[in-house]
Structure 1
Amino acid sequence: MRFPSLFRLPKHQQFRIQPRYYDPVKEEIKERTERIKEEMEGKETGDYRSTKISFKRKTKSAPMTSMLQLGIAALLGVMVLGWLQFGNEIFYYLMWVAVPIYLLYRLKTIRKRK
Structure 2
Amino acid sequence: MKFPSVFRTAAPMRFDIKPRYYDPVREEIEQRTSQIKKDLEAQGLLEKSDGSSHDIGSYGAGIRGSFAQHKGIKEREGVNVFASTAMIRTFIFLLLLGSIFGYVYLGPVIFEYMGYLLALGAAIYFFFRLKPKKKYE
TM-score grouping bracket, smaller chain normalisation:
0.3 to 0.5
Larger radius of gyration: 2
TM-score w.r.t. length of structure 2? 0.35
Larger fraction in helix: 1
TM-score w.r.t. length of structure 1? 0.42
